[in-house]
Amino acid sequence: MSPVDSIDAPTDTTERTERGTRAEGHVAAVRGAVVDVAFSGVLPEIEEALSVEWDRGAPLLLEVAAHVDTRTVRCVALAPTGGLARGVPVRATGGPISIPVGDGLQGRLLDVTGAVRDDGPPLPEMPRAKIHRAAPPLIKRNAATAIFETGIKVIDLLAPLPEGGKAAMFGGAGVGKTVVVMELIHSMVATYNGISVFAGIGERSREGHELLHEMKDSGVLDRTVLVFGQMNEPPGARWRVGLTALTIAEHFRDTKRQNVLLLMDNVFRFVQAGSEVSGLLGRLPSRVGYQPTLATEVAALEERIASVDGVSITAIEAVYVPADDFTDPAVTAISAHLDSMIILSRGMAAEGMYPAVDPLASSSVLLDPSVVGAEHFAVADRVRSTIAHYRELQDIISLIGIEELSAADRLAVNRARRLQRFLTQPFAVTEAFTGIKGCSVSRADTVAGCKAILDGECDDWDESDLYMTGSLADARGRRKT
């Protein structure tokens, strides 16, 4: 049997009651982010938090991951363990990691343990909540049938986001996932009547710094909670920071009865941190080297995002796709829980079609005539059919030229190219780089503009008239000037 296989620990109820759950032990071994702790009596339970009383200021927090034997537990550290020595006393807290929750978190930046990291004043006295809890039962959940308009044309038309559901943007490195998330924050938080919680999982320090200052400048920070587990932190912090942000969102949903917008960037880093932890614990890897508990860990995070009793948590996630391989086990595990999938294409990005959303691969459960309306559904279907026909003809065009196509095919190609350019859009968060003022477009204007292009109203327009513009009225105004 492997030394990391769990061994049943003593579970005598009388002994635990007499001692309490605050068992005391000491550090037995330190292996980077993994710490073994020896106890003389009853062992702490799996996922219980331990506090290391060392000489580095704040106590070091550990989480029990496995029972090594009848006296030793193996733990994952949530902060760097540099300077930790054997024999340092450790105290069991009696329960999972708990964090402060309440209105006092709005406008603040926290770490995985709920500690303030924005150099501001300390948090006021607030209730605490455990980060580990069960997902709401199915009978209490509300179906996500309302559309969460983003103002981004290609998303609202072809992959509408569900209010109270889960949506994710998938893409490889450098195709614009974080830019789209930042634009969603910019365009939606200001008009969103609720609380926003941003979880930075494995984020770069620069990205967190930019996000904090952008929210301050736009005046939306007072209704936003930022929770970061940065790229330079131990894997335990990156592994649990998503649960910390989700616990805060659940408090506003269940206790304050407020709708919550939960933004997570990047969920793949959560899976990656779990894989690191699994390897450090000595577990045998599964497919493509991922942890054997991949599906369970993803479900424990995703299934807690739900609408309950008419109050919703709406999740918008960014997911890195390693090597642009959409069959990667992490990608497939995450996508199984989503209502809307926005696929970012490297080919679209190479052509300068930003946002680089693939109109054919992206999908949403809300793209149904009973939800979006018959006209929206019909226009979206025609847009997809036209662009799909154009892609089928691209190989022929590259061989013999567009002049050799039939008149009907040439017309379809011209309209498809105009549609692709109309679905591009300047973003407010990229104004400093492009020099083009960002814009937000309503769903009705998007549908009307695509319908006009499909009906031939723009056949005599230059393609550049429709590129990086807002509504069709904006493009018409540009054409006149």
Q: Which of 22, 31, 204, 216 is catalytic?
A: 204
207 is known as an active-site residue: no
Q: Are 74 and 281 in contact (CB under 8 A)?
A: yes
Number of H helices, E strands in the chain: 15, 20
In angstroms, how far apart are the furthest CA atoms of the chain? 88
Those residues with Cβ within 8 angstroms of residue 356's Cβ, 6 or more apart along the chain or in another chain: 171, 175, 176, 344, 345, 346, 348, 349
- Token pair recorded at residue 245: 């942000």
Q: Which of 108, 153, 166, 177 is catalytic?
A: 177
Those residues with Cβ within 8 angstroms of residue 378's Cβ, 6 or more apart along the chain or in another chain: 369
Q: Which of 48, 183, 203, 276 is catalytic?
A: 203
Burial string for 176-204 (b: 16+ CB within 10 Å, else e) reads bbbbbbbbbbbbbbeebebbbbbbbbbbe
177 is known as an active-site residue: yes
204 is known as an active-site residue: yes
Residue type, 363: S
- H or E element, residue 363: strand 363-364
What are the residues facing 25 on neighbouring strands? 39, 90
Those residues with Cβ within 8 angstroms of residue 401's Cβ, 6 or more apart along the chain or in another chain: none
- Positions marked active-site: 177, 203-204
